[in-house]
Amino acid sequence: MAQAPDTPDKRATGRQLQVETHGLDVISDAERKGTPRTLFWPWFGANVSVLGLSYGAFALGFGTSFWQSLAAGVIGIVFSFLLCGFVAVAGKRGSAPTMVLGRAAYGVRGNRLPSVISWVLTVGWETVLCALATMATATVFDRLGWGGGTGTKVVALVLVGALTVVGGVMGFDLIMRLQTVITVVTGVLTVVYIALVADHIHWSTVSAVPAGSTQDFIGALVFMMTGFGLGWVNAAADYSRYLPRSSSGRGVIGWTTFGASLAPLLLLVFGLLLAGSSAKLSAAVAADPIGALTTILPTWFLVPFAVVAVLGLVGGAVLDIYSSGLALLSAGIRIPRYVAAFVDGVLMIAGSIYIVFFADDFLGQFMGFLTTLGVPIAAWCGIMLADLALRRRDYDEGDLYRPTGRYGDVPPVPLLLTVAATALGWGLVTNSAAGWLDWQGYLLDPFGLGGRSGSWAYANLGVLAALVLGFLGTLALSRTRVRAQEAQAPGPRDAGAAV
């Protein structure tokens, strides 16, 4: 890791941009380029958003101290992005999108269930990021006296939505170029922001924040996992599939984890210091996570802050809309990839309109969204990682597209395991701020954890339980199936070309 990250492959930057035509098909060896270091750029660019500062307030909101929140953040961020790194290895080994590679574990049509869940999660994330960029722009304009009302929000939403949709529709090459620019610009301006507001930090106030219980710490830890790596794990192989087959697996894991974790870790530390220094700022972040950060800025830096905020959020949204389009195709919708990305963009804008103009409580709904979908995604992640660990050979790319191939059509074990892990997980999570989730937590009382109002109610153990059950269940129940698959002779490799 001592060397500086490579820039995106020169062949990519030297050729004319065009709409990517690849969908679920296998990437040919002739089109595979770069080194694992090139993964630094999309992952860093997608996670350098100043939203990372707001996670300091989110973590302290669980009732933990600075040191507890920091430990929860470091463990949650690094571990969850390490999971992304492991899944990214599957892309190098299989040359196909993440949710196509999942067919090895789930079967060709059985994989539609996790594909739908993945699609909902990525569309939800891109919607949140687009809405946050819109609200941040309106807050900056309001502070400058330029008007931050409905008209400003509409214009900001159109511009942010357009940037995101164009990036998603154009595809891989534009995304790699865009993320390089976003990385440099947002990195520099974020450092300037930190320097400008450093005098708002009061260590005596931060260190006086009382410590929370073990349950509070676990709740903050799980929230960090779902807010960072578990929100990306279902798309982790979408970019590594363009690397040569000979690429180092350790390099793929290392550069994915490093690139994705670096900015959130640094931003989290500073966010904890800011939020711990001001209860007022911490409370304001819950309502407007990005805009609240402008209240401590000098006026002259508000426009640069708007640039860094919007670019950082767009960087994440572009990766989400690209992967959500692939997930929609994997769910069985037969349209070109760029059309799928456009459809998701329309849904993203519609959802952003609701958040910006109608929703009252952003943080409560956001946490409910993360924990609810975090449970089945954690179950999928456990199954996917265990399946990957059991395999000794690369995927048979042709059979990933054939229901009659070695991976099967609708194998019952992974589907039943996903349902069981999700049912267990939802029974162990709660969210009182989102009324539509009152039905969750139904296992807290039977398991002796104090019920929906007990000390374990907000630890969100269900996410960890789903991850562990999915992983261990697959190791125990799928070993023979995987060995039988790998014992078969290779099939024709042209099935993916027709998709």
SS (H, E, C) the chain: CCCCCCCCCHHHHHCCCCCCCCCCCCCCHHHCCCCHHHHHHHHHHHHCCCHHHHHHHHHHCCCCCHHHHHHHHHHHHHHHHHHHHHHHHHHHHHCCCHHHHCHHHHCCCCCHHHHHHHHHHHHHHHHHHHHHHHHHHHHHHHHHCCCCCHHHHHHHHHHHHHHHHHHHHHCHHHHHHHHHHHHHHHHHHHHHHHHHHHHHCCHHHHHCCCCCCHHHHHHHHHHHHHHCHHHCHHHCCCCHHHCCCCCCHHHHHHHHHHHHHHHHHHHHHHHHHHHHHCHHHHHHHHHCCCHHHHHHCCHHHHHHHHHHHHHHHHHHHHHHHHHHHHHHHHCCCCCCHHHHHHHHHHHHHHHHHHHHHCCCCHHHHHHHHHHHHHHHHHHHHHHHHHHHHHCCCCCCCCHHHCCCCCCCCCCHHHHHHHHHHHHHHHCCCCCCCCHHHCCCCCCCCCCCCCHHHCCCCCCCHHHHHHHHHHHHHHHHHCHHHHHHHHHCCCCCCCHHHHC
Instruction: Give the number of other Cβ atoms within 10 Å of residue 199's Cβ.
Output: 8
pLDDT for the residue numbered 4:
36
Query: What is the Cα gyration radius of the chain?
Result: 22
The yes-or-no verdict on residue 447 having pLDDT over 90 is: yes
Of 23-32, 296-305, 409-418, 476-485, the range with the lowest mean pLDDT is: 23-32
pLDDT for the residue numbered 13:
44
Contacts of 478 (CB under 8 A, 6+ apart): 105, 386, 387, 390, 413, 414
pLDDT for the residue numbered 29:
82
| Higher pLDDT among residues 433 and 407, named by residue | 407
pLDDT for the residue numbered 199:
93
Of 150-159, 164-173, 189-198, 440-449, the range with the lowest mean pLDDT is: 164-173
User: Which of 351, 355, 348 has the alpha carbon at shortest distance from 321?
Assistant: 348
Residue 231 lies in a domain: yes
Residue 32 lies in a domain: yes
The yes-or-no verdict on residue 497 having pLDDT over 50 is: no
Task: Give the pLDDT band of residue 314 (cuts 50, 70, 90).
Answer: confident
The average pLDDT across 94-121 equals 93
Residue 13 lies in a domain: no
Residues 216-253: pLDDT tens digits? 999 999 999 998 999 889 989 988 988 998 899 999 99
Task: Give the pLDDT band of residue 421 (cuts 50, 70, 90).
Answer: very high
pLDDT for the residue numbered 181:
80
| Higher pLDDT among residues 30 and 62, named by residue | 62
Residue 467 lies in a domain: yes
The yes-or-no verdict on residue 399 having pLDDT over 90 is: yes
Task: Give the pLDDT band of residue 489 (cuts 50, 70, 90).
Answer: confident
User: Which of 385, 467, 460, 379 has the alpha carbon at shortest distance from 416?
Assistant: 379
The average pLDDT across 466-483 equals 97
pLDDT for the residue numbered 220:
96
Name the phi and psi angles at 154, rounded to 5. -65, -50
Residue 27: CATH number of its domain:
1.10.4160.10
Residues 143-161: pLDDT tens digits? 888 877 888 899 999 999 9
Residue 200 belongs to what domain range? 20-498
The yes-or-no verdict on residue 320 having pLDDT over 90 is: no
Entry pTM:
0.85
Number of structural domains, the chain? 1
| Higher pLDDT among residues 274 and 360, named by residue | 274
pLDDT for the residue numbered 283:
87
Residues 65-102: pLDDT tens digits? 999 999 999 999 999 999 999 999 999 888 888 999 99
pLDDT for the residue numbered 140:
86
How far, in Å, CA of 348 to CA of 473, rounded?
35
pLDDT for the residue numbered 208:
95
Residue 9 lies in a domain: no
What integer best gives the mean pLDDT of the chain? 87
The average pLDDT across 181-208 equals 89
pLDDT for the residue numbered 11:
42
The yes-or-no verdict on residue 336 having pLDDT over 70 is: yes
Task: Give the pLDDT band of residue 306 (cuts 50, 70, 90).
Answer: confident
Residues 1-44: pLDDT tens digits? 333 334 444 444 445 667 666 667 777 888 888 899 999 988 88
Residue 216 lies in a domain: yes
The yes-or-no verdict on residue 498 having pLDDT over 50 is: no
How far, in Å, CA of 489 to CA of 67, rounded?
54
Residue 421 lies in a domain: yes
pLDDT over 90 percentage in the chain: 51
